[in-house]
Structure 1
Amino acid sequence: MQNTDIRIRRARQADLPGICTIEHELFPDPWDESAFRDALYLFPGLFFVAETNGTIIGFVSAGMEDTGDAVYGHIMNIAVPSSSQRQGVGGRLLQRIEFECMVLGAEAMQLEVRVSNEDAQRFYQKYGYTQVFMLDSYYSNGEDAVLMMRWFT
């Protein structure tokens, strides 16, 4: 079921406590508030929240990377709390960050996801992401990551 009352807007400093609450609910090795503050400082145009009735129900942050051969957007963090999942929030956040990265010249998007997080991998595949390779012991607990990409052309 899609929630049409969802508003996607740029994140602000005042949103960081709500973002951290979601982060700590979902991830075994959550970012702390200073990491989100840094992301907001470094890439203010690539950090968004989803809200409904004034409550944050998801967020996404990304950066831009230039390898010399290609420019791509790198999704650093995306999360939707369990209570708001499967309502279209994640898809809307993903599409917004992709659009913003394309405007800045990205040819593709990249992200990392836990090898054990098959639900997230299926979600990204639904939006055109494919597995590129594995990153050994990427996470703090030693778990591997799947690097996934979506090319725009």
Structure 2
Amino acid sequence: MTARDIPAVHELECRLFPVDAWPLQMFVDELSQAETRHYLVAEHAGTIVGYAGLMCMQPIADVQTIAVVPEQEGKGIGSALLTGLIRESRSRHAEDVLLEVRADNPRAQQLYRRFGFEQIHIRPRYYRDGVDALIMRLRLTGARSDTTPREADRP
């Protein structure tokens, strides 16, 4: 993601997360912290259709955001973005990757589980609309050394 991408990403953010959308300035601030942040976009036919961001402060990497437009879901974009974030986490020598996911978003939860994330906690009423957040963790220092979903978990 570059500064030129921010208006399009923010437009998607408001469309995809109307209740919890980040303000535009938050994306600007995040990109200005390259020493601890890493943001990606996914494009299709020259249009941004997904984005993801990571904060890494050793020994923890934290997925700040990940989103794909509904009309492009199921095409591997979310997996590609998550793979990029995990790869970046490894390059920054993180031991664990954490994220929060809405308790009412089974599709995202399934994606994270395919990558080896496990639920470790619940944050009650974390989102503005009162939905709980599931906190999930992927250990990077364990036996699995790849960044792709496990074969047994692929659809």
Which TM-score tier does this pair reach, normalised by the shorter chain? 0.7 to 0.9
CA distance in 2, matches of 1:88, 1:95: 10
* Structure 1 counterpart of 2:7: 17
SS at match of 1:14: helix
Work out whether 1:115 is the aligned partner of 2:103. Answer: yes
2:8 is paired with a residue whose SS is helix
Contact 1:43-1:63 at 8 Å conserved across structures: no
Question: Which amino acid in 1 is paired with 2:31?
Answer: L
For normalisation by structure 2, the TM-score amounts to 0.84
Post-superposition, which runs of at least 4 consecutive aligned residues in structure 1 deviate over 6 A?
none
Shift of residue 141, structure 1, vs aligned partner: 2.3
What are the ranges of 5 or more consecutive residues in structure 1 without an aligned counterpart?
1-10
Q: Corresponding residue for 1:81?
A: 69
Equivalent position SS for 1:47: strand
Question: With structure 1 as the length reference, what TM-score do the two structures score?
Answer: 0.85
Q: Secondary structure at the match of 1:95?
A: helix
Partner of residue 28, structure 2: 37
Q: Distance in 1 between matches of 2:82 and 2:99?
A: 11
How far the C-alpha of 1:20 sits from its partner, in A, is: 1.2
Q: C-alpha separation between the residues in 2 aligned to 1:91 and 1:140?
A: 26
5+ long unaligned stretches in structure 2: 143-155
Q: How many residues align?
A: 139
Give % identity: 31
Q: Which has the higher contact order (CA 8 A, sep 6+)?
A: 1
The letter of the residue matching 1:59 is Y
Could you say which residue in structure 2 is the equivalent of 1:128? 116
